[in-house]
């Protein structure tokens, strides 16, 4: 029952995170679009520009003041709670998924960190990321946006590389996303909202508003706008193990971030010209290249890679491995097998079946024995030979190529066992 309740709690928080995130990012995209498409030709006195638009069967007329109207309107809509609740729900997800059981989801197998150390590193990185970003923006680099952007990119990818050495692939990606999300909400809380409050207060007190504060808020809002597409990719990346599961996951993240920023830059500048239209086909080609380089390495034919029958040394499954209390030890290497002769038949399904039953069905079964799951994750089950054969491509991608499964290697699958499964898949995944 506990696993079932945790699953629904996870679902509820994730749903809130998605809803508030859509609202926040949608508002960000809309206001940047609005700013870029204002008609600034001969604006009315006191206005920076205006815009006519039609949507939902109605015609709208929007006006932007250079600073503010002479008197404040009775109803002024503020945009802040979308950002705050997106961040709060995101932190709640980090706690539910990664921090409640860090040895399972957060830490990489064999990581030098303990569970509490990993949690402290994750939380600390969020605040360090914000303060470093804010310091750089307020320094002389703030007046050189291209150089500032390059340095921020290098620092963020450096963080991704560091995380990849101690965190699981998912943990590394999600913490990079959390750092960027914290920077974005920090911009709202520490820069944009104070600038807007100062503007409203100056009008209420009949003072001339300081134009520097709104300009700074607009700059940070543009930063947030460029951050959004990389963050959105990170939010969906846990469904694609060929990205976070790769040994070069930090480089893949760097490549996709660059492509995302280029695409966003085109949409932010197309009101002036289409000189950045090349970024769209370039991004498409870049994604194709990433798909190619992240593809699984071709495996040799089964007779060449198959280990001699009977050489697999099973590591007994620790009783505490699935209870969340003990940190899994790195799987011990099995004794090296003698090279198989060319005439040696490929691995039998019986041996593959034994490995999968020992290492995988504790979670991926109609009735999981792991207390972490009340149902098979993603509905993937390995109870029958037919189910195992059907899931062979997924097994190849996640247990053989990227080795992200089992989670945290809690069942201590050995490299030799992975090779056995891979050789069986190469020969066509026969079950007879």
Task: State percent of the chain over pLDDT 70.
Answer: 88
Give pLDDT, residue 310: 37
pLDDT in tens, 78-95: 889 999 999 999 999 999
Asked if residue 99 lies in contact with residue 233, where contact means CB atoms within 8 angstroms, the answer is: no
pLDDT in tens, 211-250: 888 888 888 988 999 999 999 999 999 888 888 888 899 9
Give pLDDT, residue 84: 96
For the chain, what's the residue count? 432
pLDDT in tens, 328-337: 444 444 444 4
| pTM score | 0.75
For the segment 337-354, the average pLDDT, to the nearest whole number, is 68
Distance CA 246, CA 160 (A): 13
pLDDT in tens, 281-295: 999 999 999 998 887
Of the candidates 50, 78, 75, the one whose C-alpha atom is nearest the C-alpha of residue 65 is 50
pLDDT tier for residue 299 given thresholds of 50, 70 and 90: low
Bridge partners of 60?
53
pLDDT in tens, 364-422: 888 888 777 777 777 788 888 888 888 888 888 888 887 878 877 778 888 888 888 98
Bridge partners of 39?
50
């Amino acid at each position: 029952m506990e696993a079932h309740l945790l699953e629904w709690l996870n679902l509820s928080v994730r749903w809130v995170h998605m809803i508030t995130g859509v609202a926040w990012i949608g508002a960000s995209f809309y206001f940047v679009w609005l700013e870029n498409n204002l008609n600034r030709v001969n604006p009315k006195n006191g206005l920076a520009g205006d815009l006519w638009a039609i949507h939902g069967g109605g015609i709208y007329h929007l006006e932007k003041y250079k600073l503010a109207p002479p008197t404040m309107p009775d109803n002024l809509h503020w945009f802040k709670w979308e950002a705050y609740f997106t961040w709060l729900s995101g932190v709640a997800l980090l706690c539910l998924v990664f921090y409640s059981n860090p040895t399972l989801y957060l830490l990489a197998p064999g990581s030098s960190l303990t569970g509490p150390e990993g949690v402290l590193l994750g939380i600390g990185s969020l605040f360090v990321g914000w303060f470093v970003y804010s310091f750089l923006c307020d320094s002389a680099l703030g007046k050189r946006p291209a150089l500032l952007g390059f340095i921020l990119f290098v620092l963020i990818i450096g963080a991704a590389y560091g995380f990849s050495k101690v965190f699981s692939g998912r943990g590394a990606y999600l913490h990079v996303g959390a750092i960027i999300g914290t920077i974005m909400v920090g911009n709202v809380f520490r820069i944009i909202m104070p600038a807007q409050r100062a503007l409203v207060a100056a009008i209420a007190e009949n003072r001339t508003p300081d134009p520097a504060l709104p300009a700074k808020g607009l700059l940070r809002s543009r930063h947030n706008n460029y951050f959004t597409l990389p963050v959105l990719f990170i939010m969906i990346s846990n469904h694609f193990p060929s990205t976070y599961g790769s040994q070069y996951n930090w480089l893949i993240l760097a490549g996709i971030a660059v492509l995302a920023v280029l695409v966003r830059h085109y949409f932010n500048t197309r009101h002036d010209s289409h000189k950045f239209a090349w970024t769209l086909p370039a991004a498409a080609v870049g994604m194709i290249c990433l798909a190619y380089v992240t593809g699984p390495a071709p495996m040799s034919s089964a007779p060449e890679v198959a280990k001699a029958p009977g050489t697999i040394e099973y590591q007994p499954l620790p009783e505490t491995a699935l209870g969340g209390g003990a940190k899994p030890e790195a799987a011990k290497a099995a004794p090296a097998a003698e090279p198989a002769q060319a005439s040696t038949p490929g691995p039998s399904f019986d041996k593959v079946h034994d490995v999968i039953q020992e290492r995988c069905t504790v979670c991926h079964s109609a009735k999981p024995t792991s207390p972490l799951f009340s149902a098979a994750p993603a509905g993937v089950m390995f109870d029958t030979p037919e189910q195992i054969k059907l899931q062979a491509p997924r097994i190849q991608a996640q247990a053989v190529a990227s080795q992200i499964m089992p989670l945290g290697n809690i069942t201590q699958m050995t490299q030799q066992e992975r090779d056995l499964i891979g050789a069986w898949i190469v020969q066509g995944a026969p079950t007879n």
